[in-house]
Amino acid sequence: MTTARETVLGRVRDALALAPVGDTSVPRAYRTGRTLPDEERLALFTDRLVDYKAQVHPCTADRTAEVVAGVLRERGAARIGVPQGLDPTWLTGYDGEVRQDSADIPAPRLDVLDGVVTASAVSCAETGTIFLDGSPDQGRRALSLVPDLHVCVVDLSTVEAGVPEAVARLVPERPTTLISGPSATSDIELERVEGVHGPRTLAVVIRTDV
């Protein structure tokens, strides 16, 4: 008996066999190379994040530990997870329990964490989107999705004006997670429900001088 999987894959193979052979030119005439002064990028990025109901905490780099600790304290986070490559100086003001993540830890066990602190790869001001690419200071995707609180540190120098500019800074081979505010969805009556598919709270610490 043919399984559903075999049927689907068979149809894909048949379609590929009938497809025309040769390279296809993809038009890429979209707008690129846009820039904005630091103050305008910060204002636009902040506006978009707030519209998505994210918490925004701008600060200078030398106040990173203070602001991160303040966010965690305000949310009552007594136990947090961090990726293995996170800058340890960012947590010097935090007096709770810190657990370093590992691929050996099953994702369901991350649910015991009150929150997670990560860095970021790049962000887009126009859409208020933060990109994580699985680098050592950002960790695996599960780490930023399972805990109810995500504190994400963003350097203003990594915030691009638009989507094409942000995507151009990514490494295509890396696993990319796009974050636009806390996890949210709507039920059949269009009532907003937060925390269904990821963190209920997103706090973005924007380091304005980095």
Which amino acid belongs to residue 77?
Answer: A
Secondary structure (H, E, C), the chain = CCCHHHHHHHHHHHHHHHCCCCCCCCCCCCCCCCCCCHHHHHHHHHHHHHHCCCEEEEECHHHHHHHHHHHHHHCCCCEEEECCCCCHHHHCCCCCEEEECCCCCCHHHHHHCCEEEECCCEEECCCCEEEECCCCCCCCHHHHHCCCEEEEEEEHHHEECCHHHHHCCCCCCCCCEEECCCCEEECCCCCEEECCCCCCEEEEEEECCC
User: In tens digits, what is the pLDDT along the chain, a chain of 210 residues?
Assistant: 679 999 999 999 999 888 877 788 888 888 899 999 999 999 999 999 999 999 999 999 999 999 999 999 999 999 999 999 999 999 999 999 999 999 999 999 999 999 999 999 999 999 999 999 999 999 999 999 999 999 999 999 999 999 999 999 999 999 999 999 988 887 777 787 777 788 999 999 999 999
The predicted pLDDT at position 36 comes to 97
Using CA atoms, how far apart are residues 113 and 111, in angstroms rounded to an integer? 5
| Residue 49 contacts residue 80 (beta carbons within 8 Å) | no
Using CA atoms, how far apart are residues 148 and 145, in angstroms rounded to an integer? 8
Whose tokens are 């203070």? That residue is 66
**What does the buried/exposed string (b/e) look like for 56-81 if buried means 16 or more CB atoms within 10 Å of the residue's CB?**
bbbbeeebbbebbbbbbeebebeebb
The predicted pLDDT at position 24 comes to 80
CA-based nearest residue to 83, from 64, 66, 65, 105: 105
